[in-house]
Structure 1
């Protein structure tokens, strides 16, 4: 008789279904709040001038985090809870505080650094610090048996992958469905292996919110994109082999630095295949 490892085989389908169910339930709650006074701070006008709500972000972050904890290996459950919860919370703070008029110039790394030089702490800087701290805590929680220099390298890689992926997914949240599509593809690609259960629930949750994102009823915002991205980063940090993790971190870092100079939207629109995938399911502009 063979034993089944928790979080493998059919159980990953169940986790995905649980994530989808949780996301649909939390989206229903968000819809109930949208037109009420409590939903007012979350209302925005998107790139096409259509009214949307950022409450889709908390719906995704909550459902993705809860099901990531259920599906994660025992040694990564606390880390999943920390990175998903903290990244979602500070992302939500940036969604709300970052919309204030005095924060309008504080966008991107350059904007955060300029605010600090002026003696101000931007909402984005608070978010960066929060996600970075959560990523460092996750590195400690998942350090395993490595010691000395090896433990330091592993800690840097985990911290960088969690924080970097959280930020990179958020950089993609500039058009309906873009960040959710990227997150879904990344989660689906990472389902295999011992730690694949960590992203099964988030995959289901992301697919469940994608239709509302594509039809411009919701936006993921920093809360949703950072929360989901941090969980994906934690999965990348569980890859065997420091070479693979180092390579992943190098790619994420390069893309993040490139975003300061190059428009992702312009690159996607100019690239066949990416352009069609990006537009798939979206409303006409």
Structure 2
């Protein structure tokens, strides 16, 4: 009963923290307003400030809730994913960067002698994932695999953030599936933070951007890496790698819209 109450309290704290942080950022509008405004799929201007709000609240509540051995890793992957994601949101919006999309685009730019913000983000999150994986395993190969799970989950959530509410619904679903056990307290706060921002995301007042998607994906990736042994982590990484490679060829949005159950879940609560 004590664990259930603690998890419920962390979920509530995460929701309050993300809402309060987002509202404060909206009032302050740090830096140039253009940094925090993007055009969504309807062609409407929306705020990006829920991204840093989610990253900050996820980092704090994950660190508070996580088992002692995972606290630093939980805070670290959330902050790093959020910071590098915000960097990519701002720098990647420049004219000389916008055309480099996906892994193929970033590697193509590198072959031309250009280092994109997206590549910096990918390498940074992958490196941070391997460092954080030291809290989960010590074996060198397994540590690289665990780091890949953290980075791969962060990237997957970035790929999902193409329609209102999609990435946050995925966070709630994966979070609920991994909430059990003692280590479930790691993601209780981030689950609440995601829920707190979902209404504004669905109503298209804001979007996560890379800052929010990478932060929530990284901390959920840490939970996945901690959930099983070496073979479980290897299998999880294989699935993440397959999905990432598939995204280079197939539109996730097209797959979702052509699958009835996924289409209904994806549209639930969204503006018509």
Do the structures match in fold with TM over 0.5? yes
| C-alpha deviation, 1:37, in angstroms | 6.3
Q: Deviations over 1:245-267 (max 9, x none)?
A: 22211111111110000000000
Are residues 1:238 and 2:226 paired? yes
Give aligned pairs, total: 272
1:281 maps to 269
Cα RMSD after superposing both structures: 1.4
2:22 maps to 27
Q: Is the 8 A contact 1:33 1:39 kept in 2?
A: no
2:253 maps to 265
Are residues 1:87 and 2:81 paired? yes
- For residues 227 and 170 of structure 1, what CA distance do their matches in structure 2 show? 9
TM-score calculated relative to the size of structure 1: 0.92
2:243 maps to 255
- For residues 26 and 234 of structure 1, what CA distance do their matches in structure 2 show? 23
Q: Is the 8 A contact 1:166 1:227 kept in 2?
A: yes
The unaligned stretches of length 5 or more in structure 2 are none
Match of 1:96 among 90, 94, 99: 90
| C-alpha deviation, 1:39, in angstroms | 2.8
The SS at the match of 2:46 is: strand
The SS at the match of 2:182 is: coil
Are residues 1:67 and 2:55 paired? no
Q: Deviations over 1:126-158 (max 9, x none)?
A: 101110111011022333xx5xxxx12320221
Q: Is the 8 A contact 1:79 1:142 kept in 2?
A: no
Are residues 1:200 and 2:188 paired? yes
The unaligned stretches of length 5 or more in structure 1 are none
Q: Deviations over 1:25-83 (max 9, x none)?
A: 0111122145x864331111111011101111000111011100111111011111111
The SS at the match of 1:169 is: helix
Are residues 1:116 and 2:104 paired? no
- For residues 242 and 155 of structure 1, what CA distance do their matches in structure 2 show? 9
The SS at the match of 1:164 is: helix
The SS at the match of 1:176 is: coil
- For residues 18 and 186 of structure 1, what CA distance do their matches in structure 2 show? 19
Which stretch shows the higher mean deviation, 214-223 or 133-142? 133-142
CA separation of 1:69/1:46 partners in 2, compared to 1, >3 Å: closer, same or farther? same
Q: Deviations over 1:195-252 (max 9, x none)?
A: 1001000000000000000000111000000000000000001112222222211111
The SS at the match of 1:52 is: strand
Q: Is the 8 A contact 2:11 2:188 kept in 1?
A: yes
Q: Is the 8 A contact 2:15 2:196 kept in 1?
A: yes
2:152 maps to 164
TM-score calculated relative to the size of structure 2: 0.97
